[in-house]
Amino acid sequence: MKINKLIPLLLAVVALLCFPLVLDNPYYIHLASTILIYIILLFGLDIVVGYTGQVSLGHAGLFGVGSYTAGVLFFHLGLPFYVTVPAAIVVTAIFGGLLALPALKVIGPYLAMVTLAFGTILQILINEMSFLTEGPLGIKLTKPMIFGHEASEKEFFWIAALAMLLALVVVHRILKSQLGRAFEALRDSPVACDCMGVSVYRFKVYAFVISAGFAGFAGALYSYSEKYISPNTYNNELTILFLLGIIMGGRKSRLGAILGATIIVLLPKLLDDIGLFRIVSITLATLVTLGSILAISKGITNLKKVSIPVLGTVALALFSLWLDNITDWRLSIFGVMILLVVYYLQDGIVGFFRNFYISLFGKKVEAITESVITNENYDNIISQADTADKGPNILNIESILMQFGGLKALNLVDISIKRGTVHGLIGPNGSGKSTMMNVLTGIYIPTAGDVKFENQSVVGKTSSEIALSGIARTFQNVQLFGEMTALENILVGLHHSFESNLFEVSLHLPRYLREESSARHRALGLLKFVGLESLANEEARNLPYGKQRMLEIARALALDPNLLLLDEPAAGLTAPDIKELLTVIRKIRDHGITIILIEHHMDVVMSVCDKISVLDFGEKIAEGVASEIQSNAKVIEAYLGGSPA
Ligand SMILES: Nc1ncnc2c1ncn2[C@@H]1O[C@H](COP(=O)(O)OP(=O)(O)OP(=O)(O)O)[C@@H](O)[C@H]1O
């Protein structure tokens, strides 16, 4: 870590550990411990909500499982803290897996309902299983024993602080590893993620299990912190509060989780005390007004856009001065504040300030710090295709029929692709070219027929299995992982080169460090191969269109494919970009990689393809070398809609 980041972090850790010494009040120390525990939970919840983009309403239930695992082991077996907490993590992770396996087959509102039902069932189970959980009576615990005595409130704070710091390091390492990249990629483009050999379903489940582990950790600490647990705590309101923490703090941010946990613990307390509420609402109104004036003066926003937040916060401040007693208004004020934040700060508070900062000072894209790759080795960055004893044809498409209702998008098409060639697939709009790509990559399962890649049928295999077997692709509508940098996009393609597991990632063991460093080196080489090395740390969504297409090709090459499918790579490219593309395609072929090229730019097809197949209305109407296709009567008719004459 760089020194300019390390020093503020160390200062923050020292300030955190000194907190109970400065503010020696058991009530505030307890409150701070609760915030630390919620931070751990939100770190985990952010993996599911922020990174993979799934909605979980079951995390209060999982938090309860963690609490009750620790509570039951303490109450019935008298097991110590250092046994109950790891047990809670493992048990909750197992429950998370049980929830995720069926739940993650569904998406959107269905997933929300399934996880909500799961949370409710867990609460009911805790209530009903009195022989284990003491039912509605709850379980009493003591604070953990340290050095033969029960920890004081202050000592427990330090335990919670160390637990939070441990969780921070682990979650940060996970999210910066191949696992975190897979989570982020599946949110940005599930279809591309699957086609990079990263199974979307498997990694969604994985994310859920890890997230549940964090919920179990937090739950166990909570039971010791409160010294009493009962089923009512783990209700749906708590689940909503956790989600609010992520939304308000800001997703995909550790700082967001810290801020979110602080808000959800302190906001209800703030609304208990009229004096405190007045101070906070007046400060908020002042900050929003000054911030808006600054933003307008710098031309970042206009009066119309800031009028509602400014008027809203000023009205809240005036309202706080008018109020005598806050008790009757607590819930309404809470609701209005949430509405304001959710509506106006859609990227959460951290995201808002990040965007504000970028608008004021521009974005600083970090320069590449990795070792510069020399010219001698970058050409070898692409693996030579494996051609040993595999026959002349790499792919045999046999009588493929793809039917959508009554429409035959592909009608008994036979194509053989010769190893090491560039094979063009052309045809007018709607002739079935992209459908063929989707059949070859497992996105569609054909109605009839077979596709044999390296003499093995790929029909019925998942997209990620097909990708790992050696077929990579690009997409007609570019499917990059937009919020990730160019380098990270390639690293997702290199996911198959990692064998290290969660523990190796969390502990930064040598195998993981070796794999990460070699993957980064290769990723930079691949970027250089397509001329993008200077844009390695730029977010993919910010790249010009032509560069995005090149990045997609480099990402596909990261899979070390034997067969590369390029779906209209020249679409939307300028003439110089097309020239560069042709050079890249030829270089790829020189590495023995077979290419299927779908393209509407006939000059590209005719100049680079060894053989061309032509589709029209889902049927193959011609096949041959460029000169044969150019003079084929059926092809001319299909393209021009008339006879050659
Ligand atoms: N999922 C689907 N459901 C229904 N019809 C589909 C589906 N996918 C493709 N089709 C239909 O199949 C036919 C072939 O479409 P396809 O996208 O493969 O054509 P294409 O040759 O790639 O066209 P273009 O050059 O415009 O991309 C079209 O009539 C299209 O509407």
Contact assessment for residue 552 and residue 573, using Cβ atoms and an 8 Å cutoff: no
Q: Using alpha carbons only, how large is the chain's radius of gyration in Å?
A: 29
197-210, pLDDT tens digit by residue?
999 999 999 999 99
Q: What is the pTM of this model?
A: 0.88
How many Cβ atoms are within 10 Å of 253's Cβ, its own excluded? 20
Our answer on whether the CB atom of 316 is closer than 6 Å to any ligand 1 atom is: no
Phi-psi label, residue 598: left if phi above 0, alpha if psi -120 to 50, beta otherwise: beta
Nearest to 34 by CA among 263, 240, 255: 263
Tell me what pLDDT residue 386 has: 64
Tell me what pLDDT residue 286 has: 92
Closest C-alpha to ligand 1, atom 3: 404
Tell me what pLDDT residue 376 has: 46
96 alpha carbon – ligand 1 mean position (Å): 39
Contact residues for 566 (Cβ-Cβ < 8 A; gap 6+): 473, 474, 553, 585, 595, 596, 597, 598, 599
Closest C-alpha to ligand 1, atom 25: 429
Which residue type is seen at 221?
A: L
Closest C-alpha to ligand 1, atom 12: 409
Closest C-alpha to ligand 1, atom 1: 404
Tell me what pLDDT residue 481 has: 93
Tell me what pLDDT residue 306 has: 82
Tell me what pLDDT residue 24 has: 81
Contact residues for 417 (Cβ-Cβ < 8 A; gap 6+): 393, 394, 395, 396, 397, 423, 563, 594, 596
Which residue type is seen at 322?
A: W
60-102, pLDDT tens digit by residue?
999 999 999 999 999 999 999 999 999 999 999 999 998 888 7
Tell me what pLDDT residue 364 has: 62
Our answer on whether the CB atom of 549 is closer than 6 Å to any ligand 1 atom is: no
513-567, pLDDT tens digit by residue?
999 999 999 999 999 989 888 899 999 999 999 899 999 999 999 999 999 999 9
**Structure-block tokens of residue 561:** 């494919």
> Which residues of the chain fall below pLDDT 50?
371-376, 644-645
Measure the CA–CA gap between 189 and 193, rounded to whole angstroms. Answer: 6
**Domain residue ranges in the chain:** 39-266, 391-640
Q: Give φ, ψ of 480 to 5 degrees.
A: -90, 170
Our answer on whether the CB atom of 428 is closer than 6 Å to any ligand 1 atom is: no
Tell me what pLDDT residue 340 has: 78
Give CATH superfamily name and number for 391-640: P-loop containing nucleotide triphosphate hydrolases (3.40.50.300)
Our answer on whether the CB atom of 477 is closer than 6 Å to any ligand 1 atom is: no
Measure the CA–CA gap between 17 and 27, rounded to whole angstroms. Answer: 17
Instruction: For 115-144, give the DSSP string.
Output: HHHHHHHHHHHHHH-HHHH-GGG-EE--PP
Nearest to 218 by CA among 249, 263, 251, 261: 261
Tell me what pLDDT residue 380 has: 63
The ipTM estimated for the assembled molecules is 0.95
Tell me what pLDDT residue 645 has: 47
Tell me what pLDDT residue 366 has: 62
Measure the CA–CA gap between 129 and 125, rounded to whole angstroms. Answer: 6
